[in-house]
């Protein structure tokens, strides 16, 4: 277990990113935002802009779709990082035919080695039907395995449903509990 890691999971549009941002704001350290999304169309560019406006100007923002460990390695003990999100990062790896196992090992090692506080947002995708095509099944399996590995390392894990967090492991700061 890594005491510096908090994992926030939930379904699409569940409020997990907004909750994770509130969680980071309670920390008091220098806020860093690691965006893994790649905006290839107008809808995604608009979504990115909406997230930026919600956060405000007092965050240091990085865009790193493939190797978040590079950013994590440069953080110090007074920093708090929000990695949003592991699901898009995994999608980037899968679609670029990268070695998911090696990339996951690198990410988990960087988190373990870091003295910064780290909050990771991820999607819970395994509650639906079995996907029809092989790529979707491969993604669902990889996402489930990634989430299990992240939650095993995390000191705190919460699921957000309809904007409401429910703690699965550890505890949230008193301000948010």
Active site residues: 51
Query: In angstroms, rounded to a whole number, what is the distance separating the alpha carbons of residues 78 and 86?
Result: 23
Number of Cβ atoms within 10 Å of the Cβ of 133? 8
**Residue 95 has which token pair?**
């679609």
Are the C-beta atoms of 62 and 35 separated by less than 8 Å? Answer: yes
Q: How far is CA 173 from CA 66, 120, 151, in A?
A: 31, 16, 18
């Amino acid at each position: 277990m890594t005491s510096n890691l908090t994992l926030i999971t939930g379904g699409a549009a569940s409020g997990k990113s907004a909750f994770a941002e509130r969680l980071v704001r309670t920390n008091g350290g220098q806020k860093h935002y690691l965006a893994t999304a790649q905006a290839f169309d107008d809808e995604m560019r608009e979504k990115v802009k909406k997230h930026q406006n919600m956060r405000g100007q007092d965050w240091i923002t990085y865009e790193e779709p493939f190797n978040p460990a590079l950013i994590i390695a440069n953080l110090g003990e007074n920093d708090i990082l929000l990695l949003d999100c592991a699901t898009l990062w995994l999608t980037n790896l899968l679609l670029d035919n990268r070695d998911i196992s090696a990339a996951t090992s690198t990410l988990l090692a960087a988190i373990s080695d870091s003295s910064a506080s780290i909050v990771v947002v991820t999607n819970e995708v395994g509650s639906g039907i079995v996907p029809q095509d092989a790529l979707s099944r491969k993604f669902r399996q990889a996402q489930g395995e990634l989430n299990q590995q992240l939650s095993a390392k995390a000191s705190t894990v919460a699921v957000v449903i309809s904007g409401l967090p429910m703690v699965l492991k550890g505890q949230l700061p008193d301000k948010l509990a």
